[in-house]
Amino acid sequence: MSFLFTSCAPKERRLKANDRLGWIAAAGEGPLGLYIHIPFCARKCPYCDFNTYARLDPLYEAYTQALCREMGRWAARLDGRTVDTVFLGGGTPTVLSSGQLGRILQQVHERFKLAGGAEISSEANPGIEDQGQFALLRRLGVNRLSMGVQSFQAAELEFLGRIHDAEDALRAYDAALEAGFANINLDFMFGLPRQSVEAWNDSLDIALDLAPRHLSLYSLIVEPETPLAHWVETGQSPAPDDDVAAEMYEVAISRLREAGYEQYEVSNWVQGAGFACRHNLLYWRNQEWIGVGPGAHSHLRYPAGSEGASTGERSFPFGGACEGVTGSDAPAAAVRWSNVKGVQGYIRRVEADESPVSFHEALPAEVSMGETMMLGLRLVREGVPFARFEAMHGQPLRAAFGPSLDRLHDGGLLESDGERVRLTPRGLLVGNRVFSEFVA
x/- string (CB under 8 A) for another protein, residues 342-361?
-------------------x
Residue type, 410: D
Of residues 130 and 242, the one with the C-beta less far from another protein? 242
Least Å distance, CB 51 to another protein, is 8
- Among positions 105-164, residues that touch another protein (CB under 8 A) are none
> Which residue, among 98, 107, 94, 236, has the nearest Cα to 172 in the 3D structure?
94
Q: Which is nearer to another protein, 42 or 325 (CB)?
A: 325
Nearer to another protein, 381 or 433 (CB): 433
Q: Under rule CB under 8 A, how many of the chain's residues touch another protein?
A: 46
Q: How far is CA 279 from CA 86, 314, 429, in A?
A: 7, 29, 24
Q: Residue 22: CB partners within 8 Å, gap ≥ 6?
A: 76, 77, 78, 79
* DSSP per-residue codes, 324-367: EEE--SSPEEEEEEEE-S-HHHHHHHHHTT---EEEEEEEEHHH
280 makes contact with another protein (CB under 8 A): yes
CB of 19 to another protein, least distance (A): 24
Q: Which is nearer to another protein, 336 or 349 (CB)?
A: 336
- Cβ proximity to another protein: between 173 and 283 the closer is 283
Task: Measure the CA–CA gap between 421 and 423, rounded to whole angstroms.
Answer: 7
Stretch 203-262 residues interacting with another protein (CB under 8 A) = 218-221, 242-243, 245-247, 249
Out of 115, 154, 352, 430, the residue judged to bind another protein by CB under 8 A: 430
Is the Cβ of residue 179 or residue 244 nearer to another protein in the bound state?
A: 244
The yes or no reply on residue 43 touching another protein (CB under 8 A) is no
294 binds another protein (CB under 8 A): no
Determine contact, residues 203/188, Cβ cutoff 8 Å.
yes
Pair type for strands 268-270 and 214-219: antiparallel
Strand order in the sheet with 384-385: 384-385, 420-423, 414-416
- Does position 375 interact with another protein (CB under 8 A)? The reply is yes
Residue 211 or 439 with smaller CB distance to another protein? 439
The angle at the Cα of 74, spanning 295 to 364, to the nearest 5 degrees, equals 65
State in angstroms the smallest separation of the CB of 221 from another protein. 6
CA distance 361 to 340: 14
Cβ neighbours, 10 Å, residue 269: 25
Q: Are 310 and 331 in contact (CB under 8 A)?
A: yes
For another protein, the binding residues in 390-429 under the rule CB under 8 A are: 428-429
Is the four-CA dihedral 228, 229, 232, 238 of positive or negative sign? positive
Contact by Cβ (8 Å): 147, 124: yes
Residue of 143, 267, 344, 416 that binds another protein (CB under 8 A): 267
Contact with another protein (CB under 8 A) among 150, 203, 338, 355 = 338
- Which H or E run contains 238? none
Report the DSSP beta bridge partners of residue 299.
289, 336
Pairing of the two strands 324-326 and 357-364: parallel
- Binds another protein (CB under 8 A): choice among 31, 33, 126, 308: 33
- C-beta closer to another protein: residue 203 or 338: 338
Handedness of CA 65, 66, 69, 70 (dihedral sign): negative
Which one, 172 or 253, has the nearer CB to another protein?
253
Q: Pick from 31, 126, 127, 295: which binds another protein (CB under 8 A)?
A: 295
Helix (H) / strand (E) containing 135: helix 131-139
Q: CB of residue 436 vs another protein: minimum separation in angstroms?
A: 4
Are 398 and 405 a contacting pair, CB within 8 Å? yes
Contact range with another protein by CB under 8 A, out of 4-12, 129-137, 293-301, 397-405: 293-301
* Residue number with CB closer to another protein (299 or 393): 299
Q: Between 179 and 229, whose beta carbon lies closer to another protein?
A: 229
Q: Is residue 269 a contact point for another protein (CB under 8 A)?
A: no
Q: Is 330 exposed, middle or buried (0-12, 13-18, 19+ CB in 10 A)?
A: middle
Q: How far is the CB of 423 from another protein (least distance, A)?
A: 9
CB of 218 to another protein, least distance (A): 5
Binding site for another protein (CB under 8 A): 33, 35, 51, 218-221, 242-243, 245-247, 249, 266-267, 280, 282-284, 289, 291, 295-297, 299, 326, 336, 338, 361, 367, 370-371, 374-375, 378, 428-433, 435-437, 439-440
